[in-house]
Chains A and B, each alone.
Chain A
Amino acid sequence: EVQLVESGGDLVQPGGSLRLSCAASGFTFNDYYMDWVRQAPGKGLEWVGRSKNKGNSYTTESAASVKDRFTISRDESENSLYLQMNSLKTEDTAVYYCARDKLGVGANDYWGQGTLVTVSS
């Protein structure tokens, strides 16, 4: 069974840092592109960025709103995806989801339950 479990969400002050984790199981993690998607309270979905698969050297891409502040990475040995968030702003407050790209498609077929990041003083 495919499972994605996010962790690391917390209350952090503006300008602070946080690292989110997504533990993957039930599939061959290295074969899949993985995305981070966020949702501000009561708002819609916003793509944050992605890590391509091993065959594409785990290349990452990010949205302009987080570029230079957020970094996506993976640990093969842990089957985990990470989102390092620096210089956090109040507008980064959201539930952060990790999601798997459906193989050969690109749409997200499995999502974690999300982890809440609150940026506030």
Chain B
Amino acid sequence: DIVMTQSPDSLAVSLGERATIDCKSSQSVLKSSNNKNYLAWYQQKPGQPPKLLIYWASTRESGVPDRFSGSGSGTDFALTIGSLQAEDVAVYYCHQYYGVPRTFGQGTKVEIK
């Protein structure tokens, strides 16, 4: 199974400041046949289902604010919130859909400092 490891487990950032979450996979999720990274990011607020933010490691889902960006390739990825807003308080998960079983990172809780 591909193990996804996020860091840090929690993060407190001031409003308007940048927040960065790292995600490392135990093996590459880059498929050579199409040069795509099978890596997504989700946001989950309390009492709600996860919401897709980013897929293919860096493609923003429709309707997602452009302060959210994804980067990385192979085994090392990052989600950056460019200017943290109050509504961004949530838990964020990375997810690999390269192989079965699909696996998720353990989650990173983002709070306001």
Contacts and interface: CB of A to CB of B under 8 A. Distances in A.
A35 interface: yes
Measured as residues with beta carbon below 8 angstroms from the partner, the interface class of chain B is: 20 to 34
Provide the main secondary structure of the chain B interface. loop
Nearest to B39: A107
Contact of A63 (B93, B101, B107): B101
A97 interface: yes
B77 interface: no
Given A112-B49, A113-B49, A44 B93 contact: yes
Interface in A103-118: 105-109, 111-114
A27 interface: no
Interface residues of A, number: 22
Contacts, number: 55
Contact of B101 (A64, A101, A102, A106): A64
A106 B55 CA distance: 9
Per CB-CB distance, the 10 closest pairs between chain A and chain B, nearest first, are A111-B49, A107-B40, A106-B97, A47-B102, A107-B55, A45-B104, A44-B107, A63-B101, A109-B52, A44-B106
Interface of A: 35, 44-47, 50, 61, 63-64, 97, 99, 101-102, 105-109, 111-114
Given A45-B95, A50-B102, 18 more contacts: A44-B104, A44-B105, A44-B107, A45-B42, A45-B93, A45-B107, A46-B104, A61-B100, A61-B101, A97-B50, A106-B38, A106-B55, A107-B55, A108-B40, A109-B52, A111-B51, A113-B48, A114-B49
